[in-house]
């Protein structure tokens, strides 16, 4: 992954410059609220997928559609603002969440502003008008699916019988479809044929699901100082993750961990889950999704960008933050 990380850093710098130009230091409280999380940083992974997909289809096309890459970051940030409201979280990316720094109505409106402007930025891309219409339609469909996935995730909080199929369907909609849209939109705006666009969409869908599964593993396995998150929060809350589901299949009751947990408690849980093969099984699901995603890329001509897309999939399931 020697070339991937510098590439991701380069895209992040370009997106950050656009965020500074279009969103930071604008007059008005709603503008400040909308820019708050955007300016707090982020990996900018979805924009990178947009750019790589475009260049994998047509070499050198990514500068023409960088506005669409920004649109995917705006969409992602809109979902974070609204998720924080629904979960009543107080911190995100190391800063106060929008609805707690301002108030809930302002938080809702700030998310809505980013949602609307995402479609505006797709339309600013230098691409054929028909391609922009298809890209807007793809993003709109993804946003509707994200809402459905979020609702499914919330409904799981009241259940202890969620099965693997339901979990994967929820993750597909909540996380997978935005990566799918990132790859698909990049391809469409670069002038791909329908087969290439579908292949890249399915690639993004698979790596997006794998990304979320890895997030669930990071929540449990990575120290807070490395992950930047509250360690084992899913375990304490009894969240219906793939770890929870596979544990239940093996007769392991994780409800005993729904309490304040010490590091020793978390280590004991990890030892139990590792010994039962749960961790390895969850990792295999994610790895299999990435392997499947790479098959879709065989429709594209060999290129550095295609190789980097494959590396992104591997990065998604090996990262620890």
The residue ranges of DSSP E strands in 49-200, in sequence order, are 91-92, 95-96
3-state SS of 61-105? CHHHHHHHHHHHHHHHHHHHHHHHHHHCCCEECCEECHHHHCCHH
Q: Degrees (nearest 5) of the Cα angle 26, 50, 194?
A: 135
Task: Retrieve residue 68's tokens.
Answer: 């669409």
In Å, the largest CA–CA distance within the chain is 58
Question: Which residue, 94, 66, 53, is CA-closest to 188?
Answer: 53
Domain spans, the chain? 4-318
pLDDT at 89: 86
d(CA 57, CA 237): 43
Structural contact between residues 65 and 127, judged by C-beta atoms closer than 8 angstroms: yes
d(CA 66, CA 54): 10
Task: Retrieve residue 77's tokens.
Answer: 């940030």
Structural contact between residues 302 and 296, judged by C-beta atoms closer than 8 angstroms: no
**pLDDT tens-place values along the chain, 321 residues long:** 679 999 999 999 999 999 999 999 899 999 999 999 999 999 999 999 999 999 999 999 999 999 999 999 999 999 999 999 998 888 888 899 999 999 999 999 999 999 999 999 999 999 999 999 999 999 999 999 999 999 999 999 888 899 999 999 999 999 999 999 999 999 999 999 999 999 999 999 999 999 999 999 999 997 766 655 667 888 988 889 999 999 999 999 888 888 888 889 999 999 999 999 999 999 999 999 999 999 999 999 999 999 999 999 999 999 888
CA 278 and chain centroid, separation: 24
DSSP 260: -
Distances (CA, A) of 255 to 156, 224, 243, 312: 15, 22, 13, 35
Q: What is the pLDDT of residues 231-268, one digit of tens each?
A: 788 898 888 999 999 999 999 988 888 888 888 999 99
pLDDT at 144: 98
Q: Degrees (nearest 5) of the Cα angle 257, 261, 264?
A: 105
Under CATH, to which class is 4-318 assigned?
Answer: mainly alpha
Structural contact between residues 158 and 111, judged by C-beta atoms closer than 8 angstroms: no
The model's pTM is: 0.95
CA 272 and chain centroid, separation: 29
Question: Which residue, 320, 316, 229, is CA-closest to 4?
Answer: 316
d(CA 257, CA 239): 11
277: left (phi over 0), alpha (psi -120 to 50) or beta: left
């Amino acid at each position: 992954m020697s070339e991937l990380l510098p590439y991701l850093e380069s895209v992040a710098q370009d997106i950050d410059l656009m965020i500074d130009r279009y969103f930071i230091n604008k007059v008005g409280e709603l503008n400040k609220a909308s820019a708050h999380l955007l300016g707090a940083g982020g990996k900018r992974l979805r924009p990178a997928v947009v750019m790589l997909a475009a260049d994998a289809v047509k070499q050198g096309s990514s500068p023409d559609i960088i506005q669409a890459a920004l649109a995917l970051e705006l969409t992602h940030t809109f979902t974070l603002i609204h998720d924080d409201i629904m979960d009543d979280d107080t911190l995100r990316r190391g800063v106060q969440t929008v609805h707690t720094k301002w108030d809930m109505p302002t938080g809702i409106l700030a998310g809505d502003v980013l949602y609307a402007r995402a479609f505006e930025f797709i339309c600013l891309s230098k691409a054929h008008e028909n391609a922009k219409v298809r890209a807007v339609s793809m993003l709109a469909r993804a946003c509707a699916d994200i809402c459905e996935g979020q609702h499914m995730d919330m409904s799981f909080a009241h259940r202890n019988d969620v099965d693997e199929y339901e979990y994967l369907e929820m993750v597909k909609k909540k996380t997978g479809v935005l990566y799918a849209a990132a790859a698909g939109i990049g391809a469409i705006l670069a002038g791909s044929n329908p087969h290439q666009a579908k292949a890249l969409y399915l690639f993004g869908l698979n790596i997006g699901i794998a990304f979320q599964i890895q997030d669930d593993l990071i929540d449990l396995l990575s120290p807070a100082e490395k992950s930047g998150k509250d360690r084992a929060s899913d375990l304490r809350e009894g969240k219906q993750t793939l770890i929870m589901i596979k544990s239940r299949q093996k007769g392991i009751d994780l409800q005993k961990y729904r309490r304040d947990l010490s590091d020793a408690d978390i280590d004991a849980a990890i030892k139990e889950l590792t010994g039962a093969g749960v961790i390895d099984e969850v990792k295999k699901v994610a790895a299999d999704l990435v392997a499947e995603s790479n098959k879709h890329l065989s429709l594209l001509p060999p290129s550095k960008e295609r190789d980097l897309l494959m590396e992104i999939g591997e990065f998604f399931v090996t990262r620890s933050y």
